[in-house]
């Protein structure tokens, strides 16, 4: 699995802890966001929400690990976009249940609130459970069928209630789009020339210029 780790500014100093907790699991981890506090340019959660959504939509990654101080800002930001299904994960039981019941493609971590002694250990426990079960399989077993149907329903709801990504990118405030796309390595990863969605590719290229 290709996993993007996308830290915003308030949680940038937790980046190393997240990478360490993900290490050795056989996944390809792409460190896309901020790696230390105070670095420039500075990504806030409106920027990391957009970056996460674009990477998922373009299939550059399969899953995104994001978050912020409380996890709430990033959660609200990333859930504004079509095709993104994010859970707020505070402990390993959250991770275990969310993976099976909701089968999402993104998680939001609280990386300052309650992040004290053994916070890095809690991250390892979260990832232990997050990747230990099948995404969207349903839990408990007698609820599997309706939960899987609900996932498909929510995918249809997301498609019906959002604009296209081309329209979104062109309509968003410049202060959201330009810092996100200008962040080092982002446009190389998106690689607009190779995108299947040519309308989005044109929009991204125009903004870059």
The predicted-structure confidence for 18-35, as pLDDT tens digits, reads as follows 999 999 999 999 999 999
> Which residues are 87's β-sheet partners?
107
Residue 208 banded pLDDT, cuts 50, 70, 90: low
61-75 CB burial, b ≥16 within 10 A, e <16: bebbbbbbbbbebbb
Query: How far, in Å, are 3, 92, 153, 154, 163 from residue 159 at the CA level?
Result: 23, 30, 10, 9, 8
CATH placement of domain 2-208: 3.40.1400.10
What CA–CA distance (Å, rounded) separates 95 from 106? 11
What CA–CA distance (Å, rounded) separates 79 from 175? 19
Res. 209: pLDDT tops 70: no
133-190 pLDDT per residue, tens? 999 999 999 999 999 999 999 999 999 999 999 999 999 999 999 999 999 999 999 9
Task: With both helix axes pointing from N to C terminus, report the angle between 198-208 and 174-182 in degrees, rounded to the nearest 10.
Answer: 90
Which is it for strands 86-89 and 106-110: parallel, antiparallel or unpaired? parallel
- Residue 201 and residue 193 in contact, taking contact as beta carbons nearer than 8 Å: yes
Share of the chain above pLDDT 70, in %: 99
Length of the chain: 209
Mean pLDDT (whole number) for 61-86: 98
What mean pLDDT value characterizes the chain? 95
Task: Put the strands of the sheet holding 63-68 in their side by side order.
Answer: 28-31, 2-5, 63-68, 106-110, 86-89
50-70 pLDDT per residue, tens? 999 999 999 999 999 999 999
What pLDDT does residue 40 have? Answer: 79
- Residue 92 and residue 118 in contact, taking contact as beta carbons nearer than 8 Å: no
């Amino acid at each position: 699995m290709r996993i993007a780790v996308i830290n915003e500014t308030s949680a940038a100093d937790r980046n190393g802890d997240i990478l360490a907790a993900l290490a050795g699991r056989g996944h390809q981890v792409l460190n896309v966001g901020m790696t230390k506090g105070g670095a420039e340019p500075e990504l806030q959660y409106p920027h990391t929400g957009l970056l996460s959504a674009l990477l998922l939509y373009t299939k550059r990654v399969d899953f995104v690990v994001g978050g912020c101080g409380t996890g709430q800002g990033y959660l609200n930001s990333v859930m504004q976009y079509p095709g993104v299904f994010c859970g707020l994960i505070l402990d390993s039981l959250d991770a275990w249940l969310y993976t099976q019941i909701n089968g999402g493609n993104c998680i939001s971590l609280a990386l300052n609130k309650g992040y004290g002694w053994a916070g890095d250990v809690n991250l390892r426990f979260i990832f232990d459970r997050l990747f230990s079960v099948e995404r969207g399989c349903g839990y408990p077993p007698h609820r599997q069928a309706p939960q899987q149907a609900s996932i498909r329903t929510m995918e249809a709801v997301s498609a019906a209630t959002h604009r296209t990504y081309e329209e979104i990118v062109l309509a968003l405030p410049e202060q959201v789009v330009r810092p996100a796309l200008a962040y080092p390595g982002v446009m190389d990863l998106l690689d607009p020339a190779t995108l299947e969605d040519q309308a989005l590719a044109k929009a991204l290229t125009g903004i870059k210029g």
